[in-house]
Amino acid sequence: MVEQTLQAFRGTLVDFVDDPQALGERACRCFDDGLLVVRDGRVAEIGPAAELLARLPPQTAITDYRGRLILPGFVDTHIHYAQTDMIGSYGEQLLAWLENYTFPTERAFEDPQHAREVAGFFIDELLRNGTTTAMVFATVHRQSVDAVFEAAAARDLCLVAGKVMMDRNCPESLRDTPASSYEDSSALIERWHGRGRLRYAVTPRFAPTSSEAQLQMAARLLDEHPGVFFQSHVAENPQEVRWVAELFPWSRSYLDVYDRFHLLRERAVFAHCIHLDAHDRGRLAASGAAASFCATSNLFLGSGLFDPQSAAEAGVRVGIGTDVGAGTSFSMLRTLDESYKVAQMGGHRLSPLRAFYLATLGGARSLYLDDTVGNFEPGKVADFVVLDPAATPLLERRLARTPALADRLFLFMTLGDDRAVAATHVAGRARHVRGALL
Ligand code: GUN
Ligand code: ZN
Mean pLDDT confidence for 83-112: 98
Q: pLDDT digits over 13-72, tens only? A: 999 999 999 889 999 999 999 999 999 999 999 999 999 999 999 999 999 999 999 999
Q: pLDDT digits over 153-169, tens only? A: 999 999 999 999 999 99
Asked if 77 and 410 count as a contact pair (C-beta separation under 8 A), the reply is no
At position 181, the amino acid (one-letter code) is S
Residues around ligand 2, an ion, CB closer than 5 A: 271, 323
Q: Is 97 in the pocket of ligand 1 (CB under 6 A)?
A: no
Tell me which residue of 247, 245, 219 sits closest to 232, measured CA to CA: 219
| Ligand 1 atom at minimal distance to the Cα of residue 326 | 9
Residue 4's pLDDT band (boundaries 50, 70, 90)?
A: confident
Give the pLDDT score at 437. 60
Residue 438 has pLDDT above 90, yes or no: no
Residue 2 has pLDDT above 60, yes or no: no
Which ranges in 81-231 belong to alpha helices (H)? Answer: 94-97, 103-107, 112-128, 142-154, 178-192, 212-224
Residue nearest to atom 9 of ligand 1 (CA): 326
| Ligand 1 atom at minimal distance to the Cα of residue 240 | 1
Q: Is 206 in the pocket of ligand 1 (CB under 6 A)?
A: yes
Residue nearest to atom 7 of ligand 1 (CA): 326
Q: pLDDT digits over 403-420, tens only? A: 999 999 999 999 999 999
Q: pLDDT digits over 56-72, tens only? A: 999 999 999 999 999 99
| Ligand 1 atom at minimal distance to the Cα of residue 80 | 6
How many whole angstroms from 366 Cα to the centroid of ligand 2? 16
Q: Is 326 in the pocket of ligand 1 (CB under 6 A)?
A: yes
* Model confidence, pTM: 0.98
Residue 8's pLDDT band (boundaries 50, 70, 90)?
A: very high
Query: How large is the angle between the packed helices 405-415 and 332-345, nearest 10 degrees?
Result: 100
Q: pLDDT digits over 203-261, tens only? A: 999 999 999 999 999 999 999 999 999 999 999 999 999 999 999 999 999 999 999 99
1-10, 90-99, 318-327: least confident range: 1-10
| Ligand 1 atom at minimal distance to the Cα of residue 83 | 6
- Omega within 30 of 0 (cis) for the link into 416: no
At position 209, the amino acid (one-letter code) is T
Tell me which residue of 132, 76, 17 sits closest to 429, measured CA to CA: 132
Asked if 80 and 325 count as a contact pair (C-beta separation under 8 A), the reply is yes
Q: Which ligand is nearest to the CA of 89?
A: 1
Q: pLDDT digits over 129-143, tens only? A: 999 999 999 999 999
How many whole angstroms from 57 Cα to the centroid of ligand 2? 47
Q: pLDDT digits over 307-337, tens only? A: 999 999 999 999 999 999 999 999 999 999 9
